[in-house]
Amino acid sequence: MAIKITDYKNLSKAENIAVGISEDGFARSLSPVLEAEIKRLRQLGDLKGKKDELHIIYPEGKGPCRLILCGLGKSHDLNIEKVRKTIGRAIKKCREIKQWNLTVAVDSFALGSVKIGNAAQAAALAGTLAIYQYCEYKSAHKAEEKIPPFKLYLALREKTANIRQLKQGEIIAEGANFARTLGNHPGNRLAPRALAKEAISLGRKYPKITVRVKQKPELSKQGFGALLGVGSGSINPPVLIECVYKGGKTGQAPVGLVGKGITFDSGGISIKPSAKMDEMRYDMCGAAAVLGIIQSAAELKLPLNLVGIIPAAENLPSATAYRPGDILTSLSGQTIEVLNTDAEGRLVLADALTYIQRFKPDCIIDLATLTGAVIVALGHIAIGLVSNNDKLSDEIKIAARDSGERVWRLPLWDEYRDLIKSEVADVANISSKSGAGTITASAFLEKFINSVPWVHLDIAGTAWGEAGAIYSKGATGSGVRLIMEWLMRKAEK
Ligand code: BES
Ligand code: MN
Ligand code: ZN
């Protein structure tokens, strides 16, 4: 646990203090000295409290101290997402001025419809995400380039009532950070079996999580032809990771989670251009999200059953690689004509989707960095959602609204289904026409779903990115916050 909870009384001893300032409201219950400073700035007209405004001031008569004043806009327009982003920015500002600690006066961020519990959760979540860094491979002698670990204190006027929500925020962010670290690992450090080891460690840590890993011989015997096909070009064999969390009643149908685990995607024989190919180390971010979600669920002791299935493989060209034109027999028995070895995600997912239905899940959510086309459609702003079920899809949309991870649903009409017909096999792995790449990929996945409510999340645009208000450059843990929001609601029902 990276953050510490502290009392408002201790604010006077803090070195760096973040205070939320709205255009209309006033910071509550700070010390008289600090309140006087804020008033003075407001009177001068230098402090307006507008959204995104950020000032550092150095109050006199109060030891060594920086006040970071964070504009929140009009208090009646304030929402949780604005609080999250503002706290992220305050932490960023601290780092810029080489300060490695911050105390957030949480109550000052609770204005308008944002209650103190919400603000505490938002601060814990955004703070935990913002202080994350991936520096495992910076040598000690490069210490000057290494950022010291950040100490984050959350000050609350009234602790007890709001600790639960605060902890929830922190636990969800830690799940996301776990997913980010897995995502950030390069292909040579995290091949399919290394990913399986990470899942096994998770199982060791939490008694309610059981992990099983199917290695290549078992996959062959049981007929995982699509997964084996994709993995056949690499010296690192494919695996299928099965991660079960039992927090609910025995016999209660589990929620099914599937995550694409391509630890590196070169495109295979249909090789990708070399520009930005390094980014294909992130092609297992769906798998990472599934593990992050299961970790958070176990940490929160959610009263639900979950089953996470991760098909993991490395997509490389070689003398043993699968080829364009190959026909694979999937676990479902359906044959697949491989017209492009770079459309590998949907192949490994096909077998995983077939397999997970043996657990009789009440619904299936898959998370995958599946198509470049989703970036064309939605940029890096939203997750692409495709579903066979309006109710489940609407539930995920509500979770998106509250979690701050956006989704946008795309249609799945028969005309799209027609595009993946094959002349020689049951289905082709790419569309016969250009356009709607995200939807035709989904139409392919749907062939492996036997009428169970299913939501496909294409996270190719959101799973990694440039540094922003909250995230540093690299993997974002996309999907963890969204699905945790949905699961927490489901657990309350
Ligand atoms: N992993 C990629 C999708 C991807 C591309 C994610 C760019 C993030 C950025 C996936 O395996 C892939 O290569 N998809 C192809 C499908 C095509 C061959 C039908 C794509 O999107 O170009
Ligand atoms: Mn690919
Ligand atoms: Zn891929």
Q: Domains in the chain, start-ordered, CATH in brackets?
A: 4-157 (3.40.220.10), 177-492 (3.40.630.10)
Over the stretch 42-80, which tens digit does the pLDDT of each residue have? 999 999 999 999 999 998 776 668 999 999 999 999 999
> Strands 151-156 and 101-105: what pairing?
parallel
Regarding the beta carbon of 435 and ligand 1, being less than 6 Å apart is answered no
Over the stretch 368-407, which tens digit does the pLDDT of each residue have? 999 999 999 999 999 999 999 999 999 999 999 999 999 9
Mean pLDDT of 10-36: 84
- For the ranges 155-169, 233-247, 317-331, the lowest mean pLDDT is seen at 155-169
pLDDT of residue 204: 98
Residue 306: its H or E element? strand 305-315
Mean pLDDT of 349-376: 99
* Sheet of strand 427-428, all strands in order from the earlier edge strand to the far edge: 327-329, 335-337, 427-428
pLDDT of residue 140: 72
Closest ligand 1 atom, CA of 369? 6
- For the ranges 30-44, 140-154, 178-192, 279-293, the lowest mean pLDDT is seen at 140-154
- Using CA atoms, how far residue 186 sits from 4, 241, 309, 411, 457, in Å, is 32, 19, 22, 34, 23
pLDDT of residue 35: 85
- For the ranges 31-45, 72-86, 280-294, 472-486, the lowest mean pLDDT is seen at 31-45
Res 28 pLDDT > 80: no
Closest by alpha carbon to 447, among 333, 306, 325?
A: 333
Cα(53) to ligand 1 centroid in Å equals 39
Closest by alpha carbon to 261, among 238, 243, 235, 284?
A: 284
pLDDT of residue 145: 67
The reply to whether 272 belongs to the active site is yes
Match 């996959």 to its residue by tokens: 219
pLDDT of residue 62: 65
Per-chain mean pLDDT for the chain: 95
pLDDT of residue 426: 98
pLDDT of residue 363: 99
Mean pLDDT of 96-117: 95
Cα(348) to ligand 2 centroid in Å equals 11
- For the ranges 62-66, 186-190, 370-374, 419-423, the lowest mean pLDDT is seen at 62-66
Cα(415) to ligand 2 centroid in Å equals 24
What is the residue with the minimal CA distance to atom 7 of ligand 1?
372
The reply to whether 346 belongs to the active site is yes
Over the stretch 117-161, which tens digit does the pLDDT of each residue have? 999 999 999 999 999 999 989 887 666 666 788 999 999 998 777
Match 């890096």 to its residue by tokens: 380
DSSP states along 333-389:
S-EEE-S-TT--HHHHHHHHHHHHGGG--SEEEEEE---THHHHHHTTT-EEEEES-
pLDDT of residue 144: 63
pLDDT of residue 142: 65
Mean pLDDT of 179-184: 98
Res 27 pLDDT > 90: no
